[in-house]
Amino acid sequence: MLTIHDRIEEFLAADLHNELSESEREELHTHLMECAGCRDLHKQEQVINKALQGTLEHSKPLFGFEQRILGAFRNRVPYRKRNVGSFFLNATRSRAAQLAGAAIVLLTLFEIGQHVTGETNENPWRTLFVSRKPPAARATAAAAAAQSSWTAHAQVFAANESTNPTAPSPTAAPILAADPVASPKATVANTPVAVESSPGESTREDNTARANAPEDATANAATAQATPAPLIGGNDERKLIRNASLDLEVRSFDDALQSITDLAKAAGGYIATNSSEKQENGKLRGEIVVKVLPDNLDDFLGKLRGLGELKNQTLATQDVSKQYLDTDARLRNARVVEQRLVDMLEKNSGRVSDLLQVEKELGRVREQIEQMEGELKFMESQVQFATVTIRLAEKDMGAPAGFLIKERVQLALFVPEVEKVYATIRGFASDVVQISNAALDHDASGRVSARISMLVAPEESDNVIAKIRAMGRVTNFQVQSQRVARGGQGMAADAKTEWDKVELNITISREDDEPARQQTSLSVRAADVNGATKQLGAIAQTGQGKIRSSTFSRHPNGAEFSSVSLRIPLKNYNAVMQSLASLGKLENITVHREDRPGDVSDEQSAPADVTVTVYSQGNIVAPETGLSATLRRTLTQSAAALMWSLRMVGVALASVAPWALLVAIAFAVIIAVRRFLRARAG
C-alpha cells in the first residue's frame, strides 16, 4: 500500500483541481501538516497552477469558435433528409441486420443447392425435427410407464427370480420400479435397459426374453471358451492343420538362419528343410521350413518379426476333423473285417480254394488298413506340428552386381585413296581387334566410300583410334559411353565396373567429297580470259590445292567466261586470295563459311573452295538509243499503266456493283409499295 507521501504528486494535483473526496482532502492536509517537504511541494505546485491558468487563459479558442466549427461542418457535410434509403443504409450497419442478411443468403444458397442436386426427399429440417422427437417421447413414455406399472415390474421381478435368480441384468428394472416418483428422468438416463422395456403390456414377454439373454450369453461364452480348447489342450475332437508362411528381408542370411534355428528349438520345433541360393550380386536368398508346436506358433511368428523387415505373411488353418474321423471309422471297420477273416482262417474248415480266397481278401484289407493308418499318422503329424515356411531375402536384393561400360566410337575419315585405307584398316584384324562389318561402295557417279565396324578390346582401343585418325582428315568424331547395370538396378556403392569392347564405326570417303569449310565465289574481269585461267592453275599449285572443275564459254557478243573451282587448304586461303588479286580486279566476292560447333577436324587443313569466274567484256551496246526510241518506250509504258489502272477501276466497280444493285432493288420495292398504298387510299 502506497502512503500518501509516495503519491503526493497525484494528491496535490487532484487537490488543486478540486477532484479530491472529502476524506482524501482531510488526509492530505493532515500529511501536509506533518511533512515539510510535501508542504514545499504544495506551494510550488500552487505557483505552477497559477502560471498554467494564467497562460492557458489566453489560449482559449477565439470568439465565435463553435459557430465557425458548426458552419464549417455544415458547409462540408450537406444536410440530408432522412429518407427510406438512409434508413436501409443505417440498417445495414446494425449487427442484427447483418446477421439476418447472412442467414438469408446462406438459406438461399442452401435452397438453390437442393434444387440443383435434386435432393428434395431428404429435408434436413424434417430429419432434424424427427430425430429430436423420439428421445423426448421415449423419456416421457418411460416416466409414465414407470409411474403406472411399477407393480407389474415387481411381479416380473418375482417371476425373474424364480426362473433365473442369478441373472444380473434384470435387477435394473426393479430398481426403476421400486422408486418411480423420485427421479424418473435420471433413472431413464442412467439405465437405458429400463427405457427399452418400459411399455407396461409387454413387460412380461420382454422380461422373459431378457431372462433368456444371460443364458444365451453364458452359452456363447462356453462355446467361445470351447473353441480354442483343442488348440491349446490338444483335444482330440478337432484336428487343425496350421500353416504359416512369411517373407522376411534380413541383413544377413546366415545370422537369420541361426536365430531361426534357436527360436525353433525354443518353440519346441525343428528345421525341416533349408535351401539357399546365392545371387549374382552376392546376396543370399533362401527358404526355410520350420515345424513348431501349434501352441507356440503365434509366439514364434511374433519373434520372427524381430529378425528383419516383414514383407508378407499368411496364416492358414485347415480343419481336417471330418476327414480324420471318417478315416478313423473306416479303419475301425476294416479292423473288424480283418479280425473276422483271421477267425475264418483259424477255423480252417473248408476247401483250400476258399482259404486262398480268404487269404487274398485278408491281404487286401490289411493293405487298406495300412494305408488308412498312414493317412491318419500323416494327419496327426501335420496337426502335431505347424509348418512355417520362411522365405528369407537379404537387403538390397536388387542391387546390381556390377556395371559394364560400353563405349561406341564413330568417326568419319576423308582420305585421298579410299580403297587403300580400307585395305589397311581391314589389316588391323587380330585377336584384340575384331572386324564385324566392312563394306566398300562404288556408286553410279563413281564415288567411292567405305564403312567399317569393328570391336576393339578396351585396352587397345585408344591405340587403334589414334592410328586410324592419322590416316586422313577426321571430321566427325563421336564417343558415346554407356553404363549398364548387370543383374539388378539402381545404385550400388561397391559394385565392380568393367569395360566392354569398344565398338568402332568408321566411314571412309574421298577427301574431295568432304564439304568445304569455306566457300568463296568471286569474279575477275580480265582481258585475256584464257591466260588468266592458266594462271589460276599455277596459283592453285602454289597454294597446295587443286582444280576441281573448270568451264569455258564464249558468248555471241564476244564476251568470254571461264569458271574455275579450286580446293585449297584453309591455311593457304589468304595467300591464294592475294595472288588472285594479281589477275585483275576482284568483283562480287561472297564468302560462305560453315563452322560446325564441336567439329574435331583440323582447322588448318580443312578444305576451302574458291570459285573464280574470269570474264572479258564483249560488245555491250544498248539495242536502241536516241530520242525516238526513248519517246516510244515512254509511250508504251504509259499506255500500259493506263490499261492497268482501267483494269483496277473495273475490279472496283465489279465489287461494288452487287451492293448497288441490291440498294436499287430495295428502293424500287419501297417506291412501288408506297405507290400502291397511295393508289388504294386515293
Question: Which spans of this chain sit near another protein (rule: CB under 8 A)?
Answer: 7, 9-14, 16-17, 19, 41, 43-56, 58-62, 65-66, 68-70, 72-74, 76-77, 79-80, 82, 86, 89-90, 93, 95
Give whichever of 84 and 654 is closer to another protein, judged by the CB atom. Answer: 84
What's the closest the beta carbon of residue 7 comes to another protein, in angstroms? 7
What's the closest the beta carbon of residue 40 comes to another protein, in angstroms? 11
What's the closest the beta carbon of residue 8 comes to another protein, in angstroms? 8
Those residues whose C-beta lies under 8 Å from the C-beta of residue 455, and which sit 6 or more positions away, are 433, 434, 436, 501, 502, 503, 504
What's the closest the beta carbon of residue 50 comes to another protein, in angstroms? 5
Give whichever of 95 and 680 is closer to another protein, judged by the CB atom. Answer: 95
What's the closest the beta carbon of residue 26 comes to another protein, in angstroms? 17
What's the closest the beta carbon of residue 35 comes to another protein, in angstroms? 16
Give the angle subtended at the CA of 395 by the CAs of 389 and 399, to the nearest 5°: 125
Radius of gyration of the chain (CA): 60
What's the closest the beta carbon of residue 36 comes to another protein, in angstroms? 16
The conformation of residue 516, written as its DSSP 8-state character, comes to P
Give whichever of 3 and 312 is closer to another protein, judged by the CB atom. Answer: 3
β-pairing verdict for 502-510 and 402-415: parallel
What's the closest the beta carbon of residue 13 comes to another protein, in angstroms? 4
The one-letter code for the residue type at 577 is M
- Count Cβ atoms within 10 A of the Cβ of residue 424 and give its class: 0-12 exposed, 13-18 middle, 19 or more buried: middle
Could you tell me what percentage of the chain is helix, strand and coil, using 3-state DSSP and rounding each to the nearest 5? 55, 25, 25
User: Three cell numbers at 63?
Assistant: 470568439
Those residues whose C-beta lies under 8 Å from the C-beta of residue 214, and which sit 6 or more positions away, are 164, 167, 168, 169
What's the closest the beta carbon of residue 103 comes to another protein, in angstroms? 20
Give whichever of 76 and 351 is closer to another protein, judged by the CB atom. Answer: 76
Give whichever of 86 and 482 is closer to another protein, judged by the CB atom. Answer: 86
Give whichever of 49 and 410 is closer to another protein, judged by the CB atom. Answer: 49
Give whichever of 76 and 483 is closer to another protein, judged by the CB atom. Answer: 76
Give whichever of 65 and 552 is closer to another protein, judged by the CB atom. Answer: 65
Place of cell 570459285: 611
Those residues whose C-beta lies under 8 Å from the C-beta of residue 249, and which sit 6 or more positions away, are 308, 309, 311, 393, 394, 395, 397
The conformation of residue 601, written as its DSSP 8-state character, comes to S
Give whichever of 21 and 348 is closer to another protein, judged by the CB atom. Answer: 21
- Count Cβ atoms within 10 A of the Cβ of residue 191 and give its class: 0-12 exposed, 13-18 middle, 19 or more buried: middle
The one-letter code for the residue type at 275 is S
Distance CA 74, CA 494 (A): 92
Distance CA 15, CA 667 (A): 104
Give whichever of 81 and 132 is closer to another protein, judged by the CB atom. Answer: 81
Distance CA 306, CA 304 (A): 5
Q: From residue 532, how far is each of 287, 528, 585, 612 by CA, in Å?
A: 93, 6, 12, 10
What's the closest the beta carbon of residue 113 comes to another protein, in angstroms? 33
Give whichever of 48 and 656 is closer to another protein, judged by the CB atom. Answer: 48
What's the closest the beta carbon of residue 181 comes to another protein, in angstroms? 51
b/e 146-175 (16+ beta carbons within 10 angstroms → b) = beebbebbeebbeebeeebeebeebebbbe
Give whichever of 47 and 654 is closer to another protein, judged by the CB atom. Answer: 47
Cβ atoms 145, 198 nearer than 8 A: yes
Distance CA 235, CA 324 (A): 13
Cβ atoms 170, 177 nearer than 8 A: no
Cβ atoms 297, 386 nearer than 8 A: yes
Give whichever of 21 and 120 is closer to another protein, judged by the CB atom. Answer: 21
What's the closest the beta carbon of residue 105 comes to another protein, in angstroms? 21
From the list 355, 189, 384, the residue with the least C-alpha distance to 270 is 384
Give whichever of 87 and 659 is closer to another protein, judged by the CB atom. Answer: 87
What's the closest the beta carbon of residue 10 comes to another protein, in angstroms? 4
Give the angle subtended at the CA of 214 by the CAs of 212 and 220, to the nearest 5°: 105
| Beta partners for residue 289, in sequence order | 273, 389
Give whichever of 62 and 649 is closer to another protein, judged by the CB atom. Answer: 62
What's the closest the beta carbon of residue 175 comes to another protein, in angstroms? 56
Distance CA 621, CA 618 (A): 9
Those residues whose C-beta lies under 8 Å from the C-beta of residue 279, and which sit 6 or more positions away, are 285, 397, 401, 487
What's the closest the beta carbon of residue 9 comes to another protein, in angstroms? 4
Tell me the longest C-alpha to C-alpha distance in the chain.
164
